[in-house]
Amino acid sequence: MRKSLLVALLVLGLAATAGAQSGGTVLLNAAGATFPYPIYSKWFDVYHTDHSNVQINYQSIGSGGGIRQLTAGTVDFGASDGPMNDQQIGDFKSAHGGAGVLHFPTVLGADVPSYNIPGVSGELNFTQKALAGIYLGQITKWNDPEIAKANPGVSLPSADIVVVHRSDGSGTTYIWTDFLSKVSDEWKNKVGTGTSVNWPVGLGGKGNEGVTGLVKQTPNSIGYVELIYALSNNIPYGKVQNSSGKFLKADLVGVTAAAAGAAKDMPDDFRVSITNAPGATAYPISSFTWLLIPAQISDATKRDAIKGFLKWMLADGQGYNESLSYAKLPKPVVAKELKAISLIK
């Protein structure tokens, strides 16, 4: 009997220890967009330092992967640079007993056309027609008249353009194709907007990291990446013609200007596009990026941890944005999001 009592006490002790460990640290798993990965990595590290009981593990696998994992229930929340469409939201509801998913904008960023042209190190100007033509496979030489006319005095080679795009489902792709669909009817009708599309031409790279790597190692290539990836890898990126006809290089001022109109009329679900926004100072390939949070979270501890992080992200977290080349959220958007946090049940 004494032996049985000792065994029972040991089992109870182990159970109590396990409960204390699970209750002591809240582990949240998330996955999705590579576009905001540098700022998310910073945020999750700082938040854990300040809130040691919350640890957030994030897989930078692309927006499409994040949406799939969120829908499958294998992560606690997802991340995407393109808002979920109605079909994706419907799929999520079907998989989760009718419960919805909420979009929370986190930062503003920009896609840039990065390139590797031997002998050309300066900033190139890209017309809207040139970018659409290159990715449609219609402009195939670097000295094509459409590129040359926007770059007087630049000695462009007659080399073939090597087009690089994402191979995975990607919010960075969503932003790029959303822009091309707005500036080119042919692109809109033949290819369209999406996290994954049927590319007319090009090589595929996985993640912003993969596209950056391919551009760096491939002479005469062009690819689209999030601004911080071009900056941190020291690869040239060009100015893009905006809706006012101005050639702008991506920066925080231009991205913030692109969001100005949307901030005033932000829809309640926060699903909005700001590519090719009006205004002479608006950088045209700008976007919000979103965290995707289930509207119903049965685990109260995780629910409270996620809500706590969102409140921090909208306040202290915004202070880390600009050092990593992301623009802060407009104040009206922050105020609207703080109210929306209460919808997480």
pLDDT digit string (tens) for 134-146? 999 999 999 999 9
- Identify whether residues 157 and 237 lie together within a single domain: yes
Query: In this predicted structure, what is the pLDDT of residue 169?
Result: 81
Closest CA to 207 of 161, 165, 250, 162: 165
Task: List, for residues 300-336, the tens digit of each pLDDT value.
Answer: 999 999 999 999 999 999 999 999 989 999 999 999 9
Q: For residues 214 and 309, state if they share a domain.
A: no
Q: What is the pLDDT of residue 252?
A: 92
Mean pLDDT rounded to a whole number for the chain: 91
Per-residue pLDDT, 94: 96
Tell how strand 125-126 and strand 239-241 pair up. Answer: parallel
Secondary structure of residue 51 in the 3-state scheme:
coil
The predicted structure's pLDDT at residue 23: 52
Structurally, the chain folds into a number of domains equal to 2
Residue 254 and residue 117 share a domain: yes
pLDDT digits (tens, 9 = 90+) for 157-192: 999 999 999 998 888 999 999 999 999 999 999 999
Asked if residues 87 and 75 have their Cβ atoms less than 8 Å apart, the reply is no
**302 vs 17: which has the higher pLDDT:** 302
In-domain check, residue 33: yes
> Are residues 126 and 101 both part of a single domain?
no
- Together in a domain, 132 and 250: yes
Pair 100, 81 in one domain: yes
User: Is there a single domain that holds both residue 163 and residue 247?
Assistant: yes
Task: Return the percentage of the chain with pLDDT > 70, whole number.
Answer: 93
**Cβ partners under 8 Å of residue 118, min gap 6:** 157, 219, 220
Tokens representing 11?
């089992």
Q: Is the domain of 192 the same as that of 320?
A: no
Does 81 fall in a domain?
A: yes
Any domain includes 54: yes
Task: List the structure tokens of 168.
Answer: 């995975």
What pLDDT, on the 0 to 100 scale, is given for residue 18?
A: 35
Please check the confidence at residue 47 and state whether its pLDDT lies above 90: yes
Q: Which domain holds residue 114?
A: 110-264
For residues 131 and 224, state if they share a domain.
yes
Residue-wise pLDDT for 108-121, tens only, equals: 999 999 999 999 98
Asked if residue 40 belongs to a domain, the reply is: yes
Asked whether the predicted pLDDT for residue 17 surpasses 50, the reply is no
- Residues 244, 199 share a domain: yes
Whether residue 255 is contained in a domain is answered as yes
- Residue 8: inside a domain: no
Q: Is residue 12 part of a domain?
A: no
CATH code of the domain containing 213: 3.40.190.10
Specify whether 94 is located in the same domain as 185.
Answer: no
Give the residue from 264, 295, 324 where a domain finishes: 264
Residue 305 lies in a domain: yes
pLDDT at residue 256 above 70?
yes
Q: Of 221, 194, 202, whose CA–CA distance to 138 is shortest?
A: 202
83 and 155 belong to one structural domain: no
Contacts of the segment 207-213: beta carbons below 8 A, 24+ positions apart? 207/34, 207/60, 207/61, 207/62, 207/166, 207/168, 207/170, 208/34, 208/35, 208/37, 208/172, 209/34, 209/60, 210/166, 210/167, 211/164, 211/165, 211/166, 212/114
Low-confidence winner among 20-29, 115-124, 216-225, 329-338 (lowest mean pLDDT): 20-29
The amino acid present at 195, given as its one-letter code, is T
